[in-house]
Amino acid sequence: MNVRDLWAEALHGVGTRPTRLFLTILGTVLGIGSVVVTVGLAQTAAGQIDKQFDAVTATQVTVEPATSSTGGTERTLAALPWDAEQRVSQIAGVVSAGAVATLDVGTLAVTAVPVNDPSQAAKAPPAVMAASPGLLDAVRAHVVTGRYFDAGHDARADRVVVLGAGAAEKLGVHRVDRQPAVFVGDVAYTVIGIIDGAKRVPALDDAVILPAGTARHDLDAGPPDQLQIHIATGAGQVVARQAPLALDPNNPDAYTVKAPSAGSAVRGNVQADISALFLALGGIALIVGGLGIANVTLLSVMERVGEIGLRRALGASRRAIAGQFVVESVTTGLLGGLMGAAVGVMTVVGVAIARDWTPILDLRVALGSAALGAVVGLVAGAYPAIKAASIEPVAALRGGV
């Protein structure tokens, strides 16, 4: 029996009972489908986690003064300099940087041009903050109207302010084309812009923001509370090591750096949890599918004892008989693997579309899963094939096994 005859006989044996074939490969379909769905959803979910992780946490570094506690009293080891953004700007991976401080204005009132309305409920005044020119880009806020102050305003200590969207609402300032003023005590500051969306420092949205130079000149502002650094994805560890050295080469331990980890631990944990559960289920289904193929192939051997005996009597070798049943079981497993891989891919795509995700699935997983079905069929068909090859022609023709 040549290869062509072997495949012809095997396909004929597989296709004679389509209902049995479907029930036989059902376990393999479920097992392979579970494996593909598990890997696909894990990769897709990991992609979504990375997307969100990279968009917020993985591209932000925060530097703050370190503190120590002595006798129950905390003290700051070193102050951040107001030129910190210039000092760190040359570090590889730094996109932008900006320093910010919350100011204590004491009893000074923070108001716009007053409108005397006795019936209006009193509102808490907005906070007053000082910032360096690079802070807007560092915290990825955007200008709603007007502009943000620049290095010139800061150097000249110009009496200008930028309002967060919440502070602008409180003060009743909605446009800047007529140069509205905000008063801190009796000093007027021209509003040049309104900003919003400072997710990294939410307090900015409800604050009156002065240039650092202006705050130091008019309000005796102290050092910054923190330095916000917007970095390129993957540069977190480099910036974390080099930023303290850039700020103070003689005392880098005086600063605390909050930086993203080198790898996404969240992604790894989620992917591991999902994979462990579904791969276990897929493995069980594959075992069930393999047992199903083995049982049906063995049943086929028992039903075709007479045929096997006749083939042996006409000169078929044990190897040819075993090969026929191995090919039948491999074909059955391959069909189950192909169907399972197709079902798994469609499930991953369907879930991704329903969740508005980008489906991610390694092509090697789908092709490898289909091949895995053939391997399951090969292993499952080994014993029935050996059983068929061991049948003696005379005993088979007499009705024995």
Q: What is the pLDDT of residues 282-306, one digit of tens each?
A: 677 667 767 776 777 777 777 767 7
59 located within any domain: no
Q: Number of folded domains in the chain?
A: 2
61 located within any domain: no
What is the reported pLDDT for 401? 45
Range of the domain at 147: 79-250
Query: Are residues 107 and 40 part of one domain?
Result: no
58 located within any domain: no
Query: Are residues 163 and 43 part of one domain?
Result: no
Query: Are residues 243 and 114 part of one domain?
Result: yes
314 located within any domain: yes
71 located within any domain: no
Give Cα 152 to chain centroid, integer Å.
41
Specify whether the CB–CB gap between 165 and 136 falls below 8 A.
no
Tell me the mean pLDDT in the region 336-359: 85
Residues 6+ apart with CB under 8 A from 163: 126, 171, 173, 182, 191, 193, 194, 195, 207, 208, 209
What is the reported pLDDT for 279? 63
Query: Are residues 235 and 271 part of one domain?
Result: no
136: tokens are: 């807007």
Picking from 250, 281, 296, the residue at the C-terminal end of a domain is 250
Say how far apart CA 352 and CA 297 lie, in whole Å.
Answer: 38
Query: Are residues 332 and 197 part of one domain?
Result: no
Question: pLDDT band at residue 262, thresholds of 50, 70 and 90?
Answer: low
Residues 6+ apart with CB under 8 A from 106: none
Query: Are residues 108 and 246 part of one domain?
Result: yes
Query: Are residues 333 and 185 part of one domain?
Result: no
Query: Are residues 289 and 236 part of one domain?
Result: no
Comparing 313 with 84, the larger pLDDT belongs to 84
Query: Are residues 114 and 147 part of one domain?
Result: yes
Picking from 184, 218, 250, the residue at the C-terminal end of a domain is 250
73 located within any domain: no
Residue type present at position 73: T
The answer, yes or no, to whether residue 320 has pLDDT greater than 60, is yes
Comparing 121 with 303, the larger pLDDT belongs to 303
Model-wide pTM > 0.75: no
Query: Are residues 204 and 349 part of one domain?
Result: no
Residues 6+ apart with CB under 8 A from 73: none
Query: Are residues 218 and 89 part of one domain?
Result: yes
Identify the residue whose tokens are 């650094």. 229
Query: Are residues 136 and 87 part of one domain?
Result: yes
